[in-house]
Chain A
Amino acid sequence: MVSLNSYLILGAILFSIGAVGVFTRRNVLIIYMCIELMLNAVNLTFLSFSKFLNDMNGHVFVFMIMTVAAAEAAVGLAIIISLFRNKATINVDDINLSKG
């Protein structure tokens, strides 16, 4: 039997890896993938608490997070495409439209 803490530790590790990616990478697409990874780590935490509290409400939360992640990916990638059309780059350091 795997303990609750092992699942939570796995979630924390995956979330931290995603955060490192968001901070150190400069490619917009890879930053997006790292955000997806962080969302997945949160899903894992929800599901493990759900299992150990024997409470199904966590599953509904994960369902909603998946919906939001799909919507976010669609809109975000559309934004990336229109940005690429205007600036011809996907390096976040070159995209500073609101810098003034």
Chain B
Amino acid sequence: MQLLMFYIFGLGAVLSATLMVTNIKPVTAAMNLVLTMFFLAGIYVLLDAHLLAALQIIVYAGAVMVLFLFVILLLNVHEKEGATSRRKVMIQFGSVAIVGSLFITMATLAEIDPSLIKAGDVANPFGTTKAVGRLLFTDFLLPFEVASFLLLAAIVGAVILAKRRIDDSK
């Protein structure tokens, strides 16, 4: 059952990612990316990462992709994508394919040293919101606070970058 679900979600993710890369229209590409995020959330559930699967849908498929769609709507570009010369595309594609097959070979050969496997915590089962929250508020409290500062800086930066200045609107 798990294997079947893995194949469904995995094939779906790869298929929609390919569609995203090959599509000409930005809106269709964005929708395919949302689909990829949903399939990946399914894979996260298979990996017992329930909280992160929910966050994947809320943050990525929800917030980030809505931002993308808003920008596509604001820009409303109708320009044709300039065709890169065929030779250049072939060279780039070939080099990425070589590096990619290297990655896949590495992934096939990867093994886990059994001595590194940790014992489970009975009180906080793996991947639950409670367990992740406990980690975030104890061992990783500083990175958690730094992340909030990062988000604040990003909000300020985005507003300053995107606002139309009054003095240069001649």
Residues in A whose Cβ lies below 8 Å from that of B47: 7, 47-48, 50-51
0/1 string, A10-29, CB within 8 A of B gives 1: 11111111111101111101
State whether A36 and B13 are in contact (beta carbons under 8 Å apart), knowing that A52-B112, A79-B161, A81-B162 are contacts in the complex.
Answer: no
Checking A9, A51, A71, A90 against B151 with a beta-carbon cut-off of 8 angstroms, the contacting residue is A71
0/1 string, A65-91, CB within 8 A of B gives 1: 011111111110111111011000111
Checking B10, B37, B52, B79 against A89 with a beta-carbon cut-off of 8 angstroms, the contacting residue is B79
B37 close to A60 (CB less than 8 A): no
B112 close to A4 (CB less than 8 A): yes
State whether A63 and B2 are in contact (beta carbons under 8 Å apart), knowing that A9-B104, A16-B103 are contacts in the complex.
Answer: no
Interface centre among B14, B68, B96, B151 (most CB of A within 10 A): B96
Let me know if A95 is at the binding interface, CB within 8 A.
no
Residues in B whose Cβ lies below 8 Å from that of A14: 13-14, 17, 36
Residues in B whose Cβ lies below 8 Å from that of A33: 20, 29-30, 33, 68
- Count, A-B residue pairs, CB within 8 A: 237
Q: Place the interface of chain A in its size category.
A: 35 or more
B110 close to A8 (CB less than 8 A): yes
Let me know if B118 is at the binding interface, CB within 8 A.
yes
A12 close to B107 (CB less than 8 A): yes
Residues in B whose Cβ lies below 8 Å from that of A70: 59, 63-64, 151, 154
Checking B30, B49, B108 against A62 with a beta-carbon cut-off of 8 angstroms, the contacting residue is B49
Checking A29, A54, A85, A91 against B68 with a beta-carbon cut-off of 8 angstroms, the contacting residue is A29
B17 close to A55 (CB less than 8 A): no
0/1 string, A22-59, CB within 8 A of B gives 1: 01111101101110110010011001111111111101
B118 close to A59 (CB less than 8 A): no
> Taking CB as reference atom, which chain A residue is nearest B37?
A40
> Taking CB as reference atom, which chain A residue is nearest B157?
A75
Query: Could you jot down 13 A-B contacts, CB within 8 Å?
Result: A9-B107, A13-B100, A20-B93, A23-B96, A30-B29, A33-B29, A33-B68, A37-B17, A43-B56, A53-B117, A56-B126, A59-B135, A74-B158
Supplied contacts A16-B97, A17-B21, 13 more A-B pairs, CB within 8 Å: A4-B110, A11-B107, A12-B100, A14-B13, A16-B104, A20-B92, A24-B93, A30-B21, A55-B118, A57-B135, A68-B150, A81-B162, A91-B79
